[in-house]
Chain A
Amino acid sequence: MSIVTIRNVEFINNPARFSDVYRFRVTFECIAQLPDDLEWKLIYVSSPGNEELDQELDDCLVGPVPVGVNSFEFEGSPPDPSKIPTEDVLGVAALILTGSYKDQEFVRVGYYQNTEYDNEEMKETPPPKIMFDRLVRDINSKPRVTRFQIKWDVSPPQQGGAAVAGAATSASVPSANDLDDSMDVDGDQSKS
């Protein structure tokens, strides 16, 4: 049972130039008080076969985290071009966002990032030496999510105020027979 569940990850600047900072907004739900901070990391994987070439772009702490839906923004620096093997600069790389609690990783979100030149001529015939200032990146919006079970160390039993007041405070549940799927699905996240 994960106490923290990611609801959404948004890229505030995407597509962007290769050398731009990464700006993210992470929205997550927390279902129990967490005394410690959550740690989030952004990692750039240029060469999947060689872990040593992974670059940690950002590492931040968030906390204390209240129960409920929370969001935060953070920035990660662009990868250091000198540490990327020349043959791995163009094309597809992976961007990984990890969430940890008490040094245990509980979620890992992977994205594909495509890197290419910003004009057709250079796409057709790339210059012999990579011109980093002409590169743009585009992050595929489909996340690949892996969750891990960790010890959240919430001491049972959970005391601490009456959290719930009986189902009377819950919404009454209408019959499912009347539901339809005409709702605006994609826009629903931003709507309120």
Chain B
Amino acid sequence: MHFTKPAWVVHKDSSAKSDSTKRLSIFSVHVHPDGSRIATGGLDAKVRIWSTKPILNPASEASNKPPKALCTLTMHTGPVLTVRWAHSGRWLASGSDDEIVMIWDLDLNSRGKVWGSDEVNVEGWKPMKRLPGHESDVTDVAWAPGDRYLASVGLDSNIIIWCGFTLERITKIDQHQGFVKGVCWDPVGEFLATQSDDRSVKIWRTTDWGLEAEVKKPFEDSPGSTFFRRLSWSPDGAHITASNATNNKGFVFIAAVITRGTWTSEISLVGHENTVEVASYNPHIFLRNPSAPVATSNICSVVALGADDRSVSVWQTKSARPLIVAKEVFERQIMDLSWSWDGMTLYAASSDGTIAVFNFEPDEMEGIAPHSVQEQYLSKFNFIPPKLPEGYSHHNATLVQARPALTSTSSNANLFDSPVGGGEQVNVLVAKKNTKKKRAGLTTMSSVPSAGTGGAPPSSLSSSSTSRMPHATTFSSSNSKSFFPAPEEQPFGDVDYDMMNLSGMGKGKGRVMAMEEPTYRTLGGDRPRPANVPVRELGGAAAGAGAVGSGGIYLAVPTIMSKVSVQVEGGDVVFEAINAEEGTGGVTEIMYIDVGGNKTLWLDYLPTTVNHLAVTQSFCAVAMTDGSVNVYSHAGRRLMPTISLGSPCSAIDAKGDCLMALTQTGMLYSWNVKKGTTFFPPVSIAPIMPISPNYTITSAFVRENGSPVLNASNGIAYAYDPSMCIWVKVSERWWAEGSDEWRSQQKGTNNNSGSASKGVLPYIEGSISFDVTEGNQKQQQRPEWWNTALTLGHLETRLHAARLLDSPVEFRQTLELYAKKIADEGFRDKGEELIRELSGPVYWHEGKETGWSPMVAGLNKRDLLKDVLSIFARSKSLTKLGQDWQDFLRKIAAE
């Protein structure tokens, strides 16, 4: 597979200075059916068209042939959220924040310099038709098979179906109760599927636009504020893969695979660490056994997922593992995915303003079947699509060829004129002085408009074109009974897959080929891994310790072991220390070992014994018994001088770029290793150490933002708040005595060894809840408001904790729980205060300097507010409050 990030595919801020290099978010990418160009839609309200040859072929990139940028379409006045080429390749549909769906058509005459900008359009695309009708942002559009229809969906909760030929509106469906953020068509043509913030996927019949089915279960706990919920229908018609689904009460982010006919979701694609934003099927059917005949049981498909965890995964449904996982390819969420028609290239767009291209080799797409196989297979469904409007067609070679001849005859010129037939027609209007605001007359020199209309319908050609409709002939009429190959015959691989980690797949521009192991020399060389050192205790706690901290604190320090080792995340590599035994003349050494290759990648020798190791993606840390700490890179370079803490570490932990050390004397340090700075001045844990000698710190870990979390043996978890310079309780066992939300949390915490994957709060709560027995909970008589008060207190504490520990996902989840609780109880004052806190000053807008911070826990408060309001609006008691504020927000947004 070749991987490329074309740096020149960019949407820029035109209002900024022309030399500004700031990339604006790209919301959508789509490949033209001929594979030679892509369209992108961006925050700059523009649609851009780029050629793909320079992306796929370095020689073409260097020679600038064909030109990289083909066209910029500037008519939208809001961010362009979706771009989709028609299957015919002749039209492009775009949907925007400005509530409009736009259809673009090739126009050879509008090539050239774009007035009012420095852009040059090498290929001209003109606005052909403007489709107004949505009352809010258009988030997604999709062309039906054969371009029979165009469907558009938006934040007005509506679906609009347009005729794919006349582009007139056919119907509006308003049965979603929330923002609609994704739409796709059944390749058979029988159904349409849409996905909405009302936490449902709905399936609609194309025969009467009625609701066929509704799928809710996988989305019950799906977070509300993703940009999109783009979904995709498999090319064999058997499955829909929907984005933004969850398992396990919302803690496991998945894509849900919905089966046609039963409309249930038994299969999930598991592995992404954050919400899945988009799913996209390869347009080809794949054969499990390429030599076996095409049968339902021999068919599988390939689907790509893009998620808020900034990674892209590609799955083949016959195998238990994804084909590839590309992590750290983008710096922000993935917004859209698009496969080329030949099924060999996948394009991905991100809100970080870049696109990435995955170009597969034929042997990586094993079993790929030609499109004719799909066509044949789909014909088994015996679905007869509704008749086309009379006289319309998308593909009629003779018609196209006939046009130049017809335009030359003056009598027919009005009927068939288009810019292709000749030069551009310009109507010359006459301006009149606006003295009395009277309408000026118009002299039309040439009455033929070039855009927006094709003149009158080509009725004279209707007889010839109807007989040439390409799809009408492919349906056999012998069997009118509906037949559907049972999807159960088509087994998926195992359900819970782990992701393979292909991290470092290349940030920025560059091509990554199959990687070969380099054979350079390293410190420690190819020394094989030493024979297993038996792990045993070497003696008492650290030498050279003994100082007692200011508060009389003396924390436990682990005994020195003959060997300490830690697994390096995401690889078959171990970081290991061998401690010298006193009096044996041995040396203490640390090693970075490739276990698979059984060789030492690098090593170092140390003056004193080692009692802690910690490793993250960015560094390795070694804490020694004399209170010094060494920090190495993964290549074995010292990233900073040896740190001297004065007393040995009771605990160290590392996460991301952050290293935390807790010394025997109760001093806590937290550094950003990359920047060489401290997150806050060293702080004593004395305030949280009760006088009683029985209380100890049972565990300590650090978050990526530098916040330390300490668990004390009294069932309280503390974190340090650097802005207030105090220790705060992020959770305590007390909540278990009455909070309704306590128990639900603990399910996910079993067999949870690390805090990274499942969220930090359940981890913390799980770690302090071990001895809460149900017995003593039930026996006690509690006052009337007990549970409500404790639940709210618990959730409020969790909100603060999620903010402090920088866990946006949990912040949002807790906020939703909290909003639901307030709504269920009907606490209007609390609800209103929460709304005001999230909305901030009414006249605040981006870029305005006020004391109010628009963000909390890395999330936009007003986005969160939308979630909260939709919960209130759906509740029994706070409906009006929610709706009033929703209206109000809309008004603010409209200004």
Contact = CB atoms under 8 A, between A and B. Distances in A.
Contact of A67 (B37, B133, B169, B452): B452
Q: Which 4 A-B pairs have the closest CB atoms?
A: A68-B449, A192-B423, A188-B112, A1-B100
Nearest to B422: A192
Nearest to B169: A157
A74 B431 contact: yes
Nearest to B429: A72
A148 to B, nearest CB: 8
A166 B394 contact: yes
B439 A59 contact: no
A154 to B, nearest CB: 6
A44 to B, nearest CB: 17
29 contacts: A1-B77, A2-B77, A5-B127, A9-B115, A59-B434, A60-B433, A62-B429, A62-B440, A62-B442, A67-B451, A67-B452, A70-B429, A71-B428, A71-B429, A157-B132, A158-B130, A162-B166, A164-B103, A166-B166, A168-B394, A169-B454, A170-B128, A170-B418, A171-B105, A171-B400, A176-B51, A180-B65, A183-B122, A192-B422
Given A3-B130, A164-B454, A167-B91, 5 more contacts: A1-B96, A59-B433, A67-B452, A70-B429, A149-B98
A126 B225 CA distance: 65
A143 interface: yes
Given A69-B451, A143-B116, A165-B392, A170 B105 contact: yes
B444 A66 contact: yes
Nearest to A41: B434
Contacts of B420: 171
B86 interface: yes
Nearest to A8: B115
Contacts of A169: 399-400, 403, 416, 418, 454, 458
Contacts of B635: none
Contacts of A165: 165-166, 391-392, 454, 457-458
B447 to A, nearest CB: 8
B36 interface: yes
A59 B431 CA distance: 9
B34 A183 contact: no
B691 to A, nearest CB: 66
Given A69-B424, A157-B168, A170-B91, A178 B66 contact: yes
Contacts of A30: 451-452
Interface in A32-71: 32, 37, 39-40, 58-71
B453 interface: yes
Interface string A127-163: 0000000000000000111011100001011110111
Interface residues of A, number: 71
B112 A189 contact: yes
Interface residues of B, number: 100
A57 to B, nearest CB: 12
A63 B431 CA distance: 8
Nearest to B60: A177
A178 B36 CA distance: 9
A162 B329 CA distance: 46
Interface stretch (B67-75, B175-183, B551-559, B791-799): B67-75
A134 B565 CA distance: 89
A125 interface: no
A147 B123 CA distance: 24
Interface in B42-91: 51-53, 64-67, 70, 74-78, 86, 88-91
A185 B75 contact: no
B452 A5 contact: no
B430 A72 contact: yes
B130 A1 contact: yes
A148 B15 CA distance: 13
B426 A177 contact: no
A109 interface: yes
Contact of A72 (B112, B147, B418, B431): B431
A29 interface: yes
B728 interface: no
Nearest to A148: B77
Nearest to B394: A167
B426 A27 contact: yes
B120 interface: yes
Contacts of A166: 164-166, 392-394
Contact of A61 (B169, B416, B432): B432
B861 interface: no
Contact of A173 (B66, B106, B168, B430): B106
Interface string B390-405: 0111111001100100
B891 interface: no
Contact of A179 (B70, B96, B422): B70
A186 B109 CA distance: 13
B122 A171 contact: no
A172 B400 contact: yes
B424 A40 contact: no
Contact of A60 (B103, B122, B168, B440): B440
A40 B431 contact: yes
Contacts of B856: none
A118 interface: no
A31 interface: yes
B165 A164 contact: yes
Contact of A170 (B52, B96, B106, B123): B106
A186 B113 contact: yes
B626 interface: no
A5 B75 contact: yes
Contacts of B34: 173, 175-176
B106 A1 contact: no
Nearest to B115: A8
B340 interface: no
Interface in A1-39: 1-3, 5-9, 27, 29-32, 37, 39
B456 A179 contact: no
A2 B100 CA distance: 10
Interface string B92-121: 000010111011011111011101110010
Contacts of A88: none
B437 interface: yes
B83 to A, nearest CB: 14
Contacts of B107: 171
A69 B36 contact: no
A157 B420 CA distance: 28
B448 interface: yes
B438 interface: yes
B431 A60 contact: yes
Contacts of A145: 116-117
B180 to A, nearest CB: 17
A74 B420 CA distance: 30
B136 interface: no
A27 B451 CA distance: 14
B268 interface: no
A179 to B, nearest CB: 4
B88 A167 contact: yes
Nearest to B56: A177
Contact of B99 (A1, A173, A180): A1
Interface in A64-102: 64-74
B427 interface: yes
A181 interface: yes
A72 B427 CA distance: 8
A180 B66 contact: yes
A29 to B, nearest CB: 6
Contacts of A185: 112-113, 120
B465 interface: yes
Given A31-B129, A70-B429, A170 B90 contact: yes
A53 B660 CA distance: 65
B169 A156 contact: yes
B451 A29 contact: yes
B400 A168 contact: yes
Contacts of A62: 429-432, 440, 442
A149 B77 contact: yes
Contacts of B259: none
Nearest to B418: A169
